[in-house]
A and B are shown apart, each in its own frame.
Chain A
Amino acid sequence: MKTKAPKRPSPWLAGALSLLLPGLGQIYARQRYRGGAVLIAFLVVLGMVAWYGQPAWYFAPLGIWLWNVWDAVGQAGERRVSVLIPLLLGLTAAYSIGWQMVRVDFTSANWERGLAVLRPMFRPDLFERRTELNRMWTPISVPCSTTQEAPPARRQDGEKLAFATPDCAGVLETVIVSVSGMWPDTDTEIWWETNIGDDKPLGGNENAPLIVRTDETGSLTTTIRVPSTILIAQPDPTLQLTHRIYFDQRRPIGGLQFSTNGGFVVKGMTESVTMALMATFLAVLLAIPISFLAARNLMSANPFTFAIYVVVRTVLNFVRSIESLILAIVFVIIVGLGPFAGVLALAVHSVAALAKLYSEVIEGIDPGPIEAVRATGANWVQVVRYGVIPQIVPPFTAFTIYRWDINVRSSTVIGMVGGGGIGFYLIQWIALNDMRAVGAAFIAIAIVVMTLDYVSARIRERLV
């Protein structure tokens, strides 16, 4: 029997085949993987360019095609051909097209606006100096009524006396207000409180506080305009009702306290951390039983349990690829805005992630100690207690703490879709252009996340 000697592939034929279909010549030259890779690369680049639709970019797939013919000839002749050219062509096309699709445009970056955004962030609105409040107010009737005499717009409180003239006024009418007996030479904020308790600033275009300084006797007189928006919510705008005009003086008494926004930062951060804690806790409760179902070594005993294993694994992978932010949207629809929706979203995502990690721990159990404990005459509960649990608890704990760490990070953004936590405040402050509050939130996030990062790394180091 004479075996046919393997014929050398013909470079001409290889080249011709590759000209016909990229990769075919390489396959003919017994380079199957190279041929497949060339074909896939060609198709991907071609598809990308075709999608983008600019004819000029067709040079990239064309270049790869030509290179491919050369490569096929080279492969048949057993000559080494560098893949640098097609790699460069493909990457050039990908990055150029990507650059344009992402609309990278540094000229659009308005640096002045950038500074305007950034500068207040360096003066975070977290603390304010503790102050003492000296407050006085006077009633005033709005609007004037033809049928009803307005009560006097005047109020006395010990030394302090405040009054407005006239006693009643309509929207946008001018009123003279006076106060005396206050602290001398102190800035005084004057603002309006409607009959239902809404605060209205009186300065600027009804959008800034009105601040007037008292004289050396502690009195001031100024004119104000009745705000335009105070009657909007009133069913009958002709009904005369009593509103209030406030005069507030503040002076520092030493020390610092959380500002209003600072309080929200603390509240939001507390919410974020506790959300993460709760979500991790719920996730652990569910992930532990599920992880046993997802452990290959426990479930491959018979086809039925193996089917369960496959299903559980698939579902876990599926859920894991849905970001918790998207889950949060669904849960916000169900349970409404607030931290509970965030907890649920984080928990569901964490169950999938933790169950996978746990099941890998279970798959990696050393059977030796189990055998040793069984050999001492222990019953199966004792075998689990002394042979299995000591092996899985430390890595389980490490993974759980790691997950908590991740969840704290995620919980800082989950509020952006209504899931509660600091993100909820953050996105509103950005919309309101309150960058000082945003700066405070950034500092709080950095401190909490960095601390937890450090602590969890330390604990995990000790456990593993």
Chain B
Amino acid sequence: MKKNLAPIARLFWNALGIAILVFLFGASYRVTQIDFPRLVRDAYKARDFVMAFLSPDVVTRDVETTVIEMNFPVPCGSAPEAEMPDSGPRLVTNVPCAEARQTFILEGFDLLPNSEVNVSWLLPTGGTLRIGRVTTDEDGHFLIEVEVRPITAAQDGVPSRITAETLVPVGPLKPSQALLDVMREMFVTIFMALLSTTIATIIAAPLSFLAASNITKRGVLGTAVYYIARSFFNFIRSFEPLVMASVFAFWLGYGPFAGSLALTVVTTASLGKLFSEAVESIDSGPIEAIQATGANRLQTVLYAVVPQIVPDFISFIVYHWDINVRISTIIGFVGGGGIGYYLNEQINSMVGYHRAGTAIWAIIIVVWALDFLSAEVRKRLT
């Protein structure tokens, strides 16, 4: 009896399905080199980045720099030793001169209290060698141990000098260079999205009618056009804008133009598909009704077709603008310009983490705001 076999067959198919799934996940687990212990063990590596992200470079203050310096001959006798004053802001060493690879103690007195001091060597060649960054106590005193490097040797009787740069922030807070850069790049990013969405709309709107079955799919030629348009949209749509952008950037050179063009191409396909679906879902009732009044073709389109599709079209356009802003924030990673390019540069420069933090915050805020705005607009439309 067939009826009694059914549960066994179902059990078999279920078991087979589960076995395939388990196998797939097992294989995926191997292929993707999942290693959670490493994630936990090496989580500290992200500390610098996360800390920088939490303290983005947003504001700055003008810095007033005061410099004091002293001669320090290496090795001893190669140049006259410096006199050490006993009052006023001054640098004092425990030895007047030193040989290479020796260590001595450098102290500063009566500097500005509680401020940051950059201590470095000023080499006879004109170059500088950083010693370190110290903070003075409330008496304006600091102490640092210095190891003498061979490069600091005096040349032709001109000794290296030790300099102490005191940095004092003065004046009001003002936006930092990073913030200004990020804002400019953000402008570019938003305009990239705006331009590409607009151009894509202009191209996609007429093309979408070709891919709408109720309009085009008539006769052999129409059917062929319909399928070609459909496949074209689907084919282009299957590439992420970043993939496109990497090729466009290779062709046109790095910059927002390449990014916008790549974005335009993908958006055209995506909008074309959405538009064509909107056209397909038109209610034929109003068309009949308008035709029944004796209207001509153009009037029918204007009064029966356009009013039906415009809200959908606008909703899709707003939605895509939102998506495109998201994508343009990262398209710069492959050379597409905008904030992504800046972000990538800062991340790769190692010292730019704080600036990268500023960029990421800007992205989050803009994406969030546009997400909200586009959702509101679309809610109004439907």
Contact = CB atoms under 8 A, between A and B. Distances in A.
Contact of B238 (A110, A426, A430, A449): A449
Interface stretch (A78-86, A267-275, A302-310, A395-403): A267-275
Interface in B13-54: 24-25, 27-29, 31-35, 38-39, 42-43, 45-46, 49-50
B256 A103 contact: yes
Contact of A446 (B188, B238, B330): B238
Contacts of B49: 330, 333
B243 A442 contact: yes
Interface stretch (B95-103, B123-131, B212-220, B362-370): B362-370
Contact of B194 (A51, A94, A114, A344): A94
Given A317-B368, A321-B364, A427-B334, A117 B250 contact: yes
Interface in B206-256: 234-235, 238-240, 242-243, 246-247, 250-253, 255-256
B32 A343 contact: yes
Interface in A208-225: none
B260 A104 contact: yes
A97 B191 contact: yes
Contact of B363 (A110, A321, A330, A334): A321
Chain A contact patch, size range: 35 or more
A278 B363 contact: no
Contacts of A326: 330, 343, 360, 363
Contacts of A35: none
Given A333-B49, A413-B240, A420 B32 contact: yes
B24 to A, nearest CB: 7
Nearest to A450: B238
A453 B45 CA distance: 37
A335 B333 CA distance: 20
A427 B257 contact: no
A339 B367 CA distance: 27
A409 interface: yes
Given A321-B368, A335-B38, A445 B33 contact: no
Given A334-B39, A416-B333, A438-B247, A343 B34 contact: yes
B355 interface: no
A391 to B, nearest CB: 21
B12 interface: no
Contacts of A430: 246-247, 250
B64 to A, nearest CB: 29
B153 interface: no
A102 interface: yes
A9 to B, nearest CB: 28
A335 B43 CA distance: 8
A432 to B, nearest CB: 11
B195 A98 contact: yes
Nearest to A340: B33
B197 to A, nearest CB: 11
A86 B24 CA distance: 58
Contacts of B251: 109-110, 113-114, 117
Interface string A257-299: 0000000000000110011011001000000000000000000
A423 B191 contact: no
B326 interface: yes
A3 B234 CA distance: 67
A338 B191 CA distance: 34
B144 interface: no
Interface string A386-426: 00000000000000000000000110110011001001001
Interface in B123-144: none
B282 interface: no
A105 interface: yes
B243 A338 contact: no
Most chain A beta-carbon neighbours within 10 Å: one of B27, B31, B255: B31
B329 interface: yes
B360 A322 contact: yes
Contact of A271 (B32, B34, B35, B367): B32
Contacts of A97: 191
A417 B27 CA distance: 24
B198 interface: yes
B195 A102 contact: yes
B192 interface: yes
Contact of B46 (A275, A334, A416, A433): A334
A101 interface: yes
A335 B31 CA distance: 15
Interface of B: 24-25, 27-29, 31-35, 38-39, 42-43, 45-46, 49-50, 187-188, 191-192, 194-195, 198, 234-235, 238-240, 242-243, 246-247, 250-253, 255-257, 260, 326, 329-330, 333-334, 337, 343, 347, 360, 363-364, 367-368, 371
27 contacts: A51-B187, A98-B192, A98-B195, A101-B187, A102-B192, A102-B195, A104-B260, A108-B252, A109-B251, A274-B32, A281-B25, A317-B371, A321-B364, A325-B333, A326-B330, A330-B50, A334-B42, A338-B33, A339-B31, A340-B39, A416-B333, A417-B333, A430-B250, A438-B247, A442-B239, A442-B243, A450-B238
Given A275-B31, A340-B32, 17 more contacts: A95-B198, A98-B195, A274-B32, A277-B28, A278-B29, A323-B326, A326-B363, A334-B46, A338-B33, A339-B32, A409-B238, A412-B240, A416-B242, A430-B247, A438-B247, A449-B238, A453-B238
